Amino acid sequence: ETGVTQTPRHLVMGMTNKKSLKCEQHLGHNAMYWYKQSAKKPLELMFVYSLEERVENNSVPSRFSPECPNSSHLFLHLHTLQPEDSALYLCASSQGGRFFDTQYFGPGTRLTVL
Amino acid sequence: AQKVTQAQTEISVVEKEDVTLDCVYETRDTTYYLFWYKQPPSGELVFLIRRNSFDEQNEISGRYSWNFQKSTSSFNFTITASQVVDSAVYFCALSAGVSGNTPLVFGKGTRLSVIA
């Protein structure tokens, strides 16, 4: 089992759909992260959960809604997205919840919004 | 404010050549951490190295080596005898501050293509 898994790997959705991205870490870590990677832009931090508590919400539109039911699972619920939300969404985890702790990433979900 | 600059957008080399990827960072903090990640076409960011600001020793790991120079605020990455499997986008990142409360700042990445 690889360290951080994400499903689905690819997702195409219309602007009126509701979908969820799932992330699972098998490393025994205490913190999990969502990042957005758009073409020709640096990685953008979206949300951070440490010990299942949200500690960072980086001015993300409310159409993105995270959920962390336990330290191993992280979800990103999507609704009423816009075409500009098309991107690679990466999940990461780290042992501690501090940003200087090494983050380990999953393979990402490639999202296309039509 | 923290900033990471990877001035090389794309590099193309022939297999077995050595290649250096540049990373220049900016921070006012004296305590900070630098990272390199590799992103192959599969999409996953693969952790390569983490270095703190108090450890200026250069590091070598197989064909990979890193040159950390605080005097020039650089943390360059060299691949010796490059291979096709090294083709990927490489990101340099910075976490500044002793508290660890400042999010990672990533550079825009350098796309390396190694041609057989």
When CB atoms are compared, the residue of B47, B104, B108 closest to A99 is B104
Chosen for mutation from B9, B27, B45, B49 (greatest number of chain A CBs closer than 10 Å) is B45
> What would the mean pLDDT of A26-48 be, rounded to a whole number?
92
Cβ separation A42–B108 shorter than 8 A: yes
Q: pLDDT by residue (tens digit) across A39-91?
A: 878 899 999 998 777 777 778 999 999 999 999 999 999 999 999 999 999 99
Instruction: Answer for the pair B35, B95: CB distance below 8 angstroms, yes or no.
Output: yes
Percentage above 90 pLDDT, chain B: 86
Q: What is the pLDDT of residue B96?
A: 92
Alpha carbon distance B72, A35 (integer Å): 30
